[in-house]
Structure 1
Amino acid sequence: MKTVLLLVTLGGLLVLSLVGGLFVWWGMGGVDISLHGMIALTLGCLLSLLLGGGLMFLVFYSSRKGHDDEHHRGPEI
């Protein structure tokens, strides 16, 4: 039940952010972006998401394998 509630909440936030982004985009009026600009914008967004996801994967991987614990231990007395 918690998982379903979490997914519904995250989906709702995604929809709200997309609708808000569209209203801002349409509200800018006379701003035109060429095809190359749209491609650059899309690739920049996708690569940023992939980089963030990859870094989060490395954080969780390092935490689960115990690599963080080795460096946080102080000298044993």
Structure 2
Amino acid sequence: MRSINLSQVLLIAALLILLGLAAFGIAWAWSATNGVDDAAMDENGWIALGLGSFFSLIIGCGLMALMFFSSRRGYDEAADPFRNKEPK
């Protein structure tokens, strides 16, 4: 089993501190706006939110599929002039 050195421990600690700060900021913002009733959405707002989320998901999945198939079929090979043709 591999041991963890000091730099990895410091990196993990820093990332955990950043995660804690982000969670604190989210909780603070949530509690600061929890009692506000003037930001209610009507049906049109919920429809716009749903359609925007749906089409964003469709576009994201479509672009990821295009990237996947482009890479599989070799269309990206010509765009990288520094890639070696033969492995050494």
TM-score scaled by length of structure 1:
0.56
| Superposition deviation, residue 28 in structure 1 | 5.9
CA distance in 2, matches of 1:28, 1:50: 34
Q: In the alignment, what sits opposite 1:71?
A: 79
| Runs of 5+ unmatched residues, structure 1 | 1-22
Q: Share of identical aligned residues, percent?
A: 37
Larger-Rg structure = 2
TM-score scaled by length of structure 2:
0.50
Matched residue count: 52
Q: In the alignment, what sits opposite 1:6?
A: none
More helix by share: 1
| Runs of 5+ unmatched residues, structure 2 | 1-29, 83-88
| Superposition deviation, residue 40 in structure 1 | 0.3
